[in-house]
Amino acid sequence: MNQRACAEGSHGQANEGVGLSVLSPRELEVDSHLALVPCNALIGAHMGLAESTVTSYLAPAARKLVTTNRFDAVLRARHSGLIA
């Protein structure tokens, strides 16, 4: 995600259907930070991970959540009870 998108957030439309039960514990942990931290670099700094590592967890989680943006990923994970 580029710096401008990180600052502004991304918005889009998600597809229906959610594969929540297949998220790994680490994908859930990284996804839970999306609600609090606006971009991958800051999530990585908070978790002690490289930005590319954060991305490597978020990309498959987004596919499993059947979403195309951060906002919907957080909403779907919250709605399902996976994150607070």
Average pLDDT over residues 2-9: 44
Sketch the domain layout of the chain as residue ranges: 22-79
Specify the CATH class of 22-79 in words: mainly alpha
Give this prediction's pTM.
0.70
> 26-42 pLDDT, tens per residue?
988 898 888 888 899 99
Cα gap 1→77, rounded to integer Å:
20
- Residue 81 CA to residue 60 CA, distance in Å, equals 19
pLDDT band at 6 (very low <50, low <70, confident <90, very high): low
Q: What is the DSSP string of 10-74?
A: ----PPS---GGG--HHHHHHHHHHTT-SSHHHHHHHHT--HHHHHHHHHHHHHHTT-SSHHHHH
The pLDDT of residue 71:
87
pLDDT at 20: 54
Q: Say if residue 79's pLDDT is above 80.
A: yes
